[in-house]
Amino acid sequence: MSKAADFVSSVYQAVLTRNPGEREFHQAVHEVFSSLTPVIERHPEYAESAILERICEPERQIIFRVPWTDDHNHVHINRGFRVQFNSALGPYKGGLRFHPSVLLGTVKFLGFEQIFKNALTGLPIGGGKGGSDFDPKGKSDREVMRFCQSFMTELHRYVGEYVDVPAGDIGVGAREIGYLFGQYKRLTNKYESGVITGKGIGWGGSRARTEATGYGVVIFAQEMLATRGSSLDGATVLVSGSGNVALYAIQKAQQLGATVVSASDSQGSVYDPDGIDFDLLREIKEVERGRISEYAARRGGRSQYRAGRTVWSIAADAPADVALPCATQNELNAEDAAVLVKAGVRAVAEGANMPSTPEAVHTFQKAGVLFGPGKAANAGGVATSALEMQQNASRDSWTFDYTAHRLEQIMTRLHGSVRQTAEEYGHPGDYVTGANIHGFQLVADAMLAQGVI
């Protein structure tokens, strides 16, 4: 083992010791560090200035109590988090996740990924993440409002358009963003549009922001396929999830000529060999906030609901060309990956954050499947959030087409940068290595320039 490899390994072991029990955070750090030995060999100044050690330690971690009252006057207590991880490139930027699974380690893993994802966009934004173990499912609008107001009552002390700019994530959509922004405005007596992104179009939001993450992952997949003389036109695509990212990945893939045959939620999946009816799925999930099982019942025809089964199991029975995991972390394991490879999948692009286990990634890469990691493939959402910040700063409003065009430019440029970096370091076609190294170097160089802080 080289001196640089020994150094990277020793820093990783220190991360394990300092952050016990935070397995998702460990996984995210290991995934980045696995690419960095040649970088340290080429740039020993990174080791000399303890860049690795500093980049793994959040600049600030905020944990707070969130008390709220339900519609029956029962008091509930949840826990709120905001991890402000790295501001070398700009104000902290990252979503808020409301889900029962949210723990500090979850938020740290997401925030760590966000550092490099945000850097890859080429826009001036740092990395952060936040959320709560609150579950908005089954809650009335008034209950969600009271929770969001309590959450922002504490969080507002730590955010601002030049400090930290939250956005939505799992469990935090347009409704929640509205309540959060309203409470911030009430507490600060300022109409500070740039303090949060994902806002409504009529009050500072960006056209195409809703669609951006899903559109971006499909654009990235299309760019990967183009390197092998292929495209999404005529392809059969498997999409997991049915939230914001999955919905608009389905729409964009269909616009490019693909047939998307699946969607899912936490209770099961649907298989529709004739192609997902986007309008029906959006009505069920975005408007009615219903379950995926309702899709098959209302769609009819050859559509099937598969209770308790993932979309990846579909590949055991039918061929597929492209997979877009858009649900949640570690949803796609090595066994799933093997099924997808056998089914003929040529490309995988991650719409969710770290949805593929390390073993699954290895399986794809060993089989020669094009693999776009989340920190690159799903960067379109945060890129468009940064565009929303630009519009807010200039008191401007752009058209959908203009914003979508900017998104496509960013994702195309991002793909090219990642691919070029992979080639520069002797790993052509390895988007994991390219994304890790390019994102890391952008942040590391800024940290060097700003001194030991």
Q: Render each residue's pLDDT in the chain as its tens digit; 453 residues.
A: 799 999 999 999 999 999 999 999 999 999 999 999 999 999 999 999 999 999 999 999 999 999 999 999 999 999 999 999 999 999 999 999 999 999 999 999 999 999 999 999 999 999 999 999 999 999 999 999 999 999 999 999 999 999 999 999 989 999 999 999 999 999 999 999 999 999 999 999 999 999 999 999 999 999 999 999 999 999 999 999 999 999 999 999 999 999 999 999 989 999 999 999 999 999 999 889 899 999 999 999 999 999 999 999 999 989 999 999 999 989 999 999 999 999 999 999 999 989 999 999 999 999 999 999 999 999 999 999 999 999 999 999 999 999 999 999 999 999 999 999 999 999 999 999 999 999 999 999 999 999 999
Per-residue tokens: 8: 């990277």
Q: Do 177 and 272 reside in the same domain of the chain?
A: no
Domain end call among 368, 399, 415 = 368
- Determine the structural domain holding residue 97 and report its residue range: 60-191
Of the residues 346, 368, 390, which one is the last residue of a structural domain? 368
Q: Please indicate, yes or no, whether residues 180 and 328 belong to a single structural domain of this protein.
A: no
Q: In which element (H, E) is residue 239 found? A: strand 236-240
The answer to whether residues 199 and 181 touch, using CB atoms and an 8 Å cutoff, is yes
* Residues 104 and 173 placed together within one structural domain of the fold: yes
444 part of a folded domain: yes
In a domain, 322, yes or no: yes
Residue among 108, 129, 199, 285 flagged as catalytic: 129
Please say which residue of 191, 222, 255 terminates a domain.
Answer: 191
Residue 375 lies in a domain: no
For this structure, is 129 an active site residue?
Answer: yes
Question: Three-state DSSP class for 429?
Answer: coil
In a domain, 389, yes or no: no
* Residue 137 burial (C-beta neighbours within 10 Å; 0-12, 13-18, 19+): exposed
Look at residue 406 and tell me if it is in a domain.
Answer: no
Asked, for residue 138, whether it belongs to a domain, the answer is yes
- CATH number assigned to the domain comprising residue 14: 1.10.285.10
Nearest alpha carbon to residue 415 among 216, 244, 246: 216
- DSSP at 300: -
Alpha-carbon distance of 376 to 430, in angstroms, equals 12
**328 lies in the same domain as 448:** no
The CATH code of the domain that includes 338 is 3.40.50.720
User: Which residues carry a binding-site annotation for NAD(+)?
Assistant: 213, 244
Give the residue ranges of the annotated binding site. 93, 114, 117, 168, 213, 244, 385
Domain count across the chain: 3
342 and 322 share one domain? yes
Does some domain include residue 243? yes
Same domain, 218 and 329: yes
Do 151 and 218 share a domain, yes or no?
no
Contacts of 37 by beta carbon, 8 Å cutoff, 6+ apart: 2, 4, 5, 8
Is there a single domain that holds both residue 220 and residue 347?
Answer: yes
CA distance linking residue 167 with residue 145, whole number of Å: 16
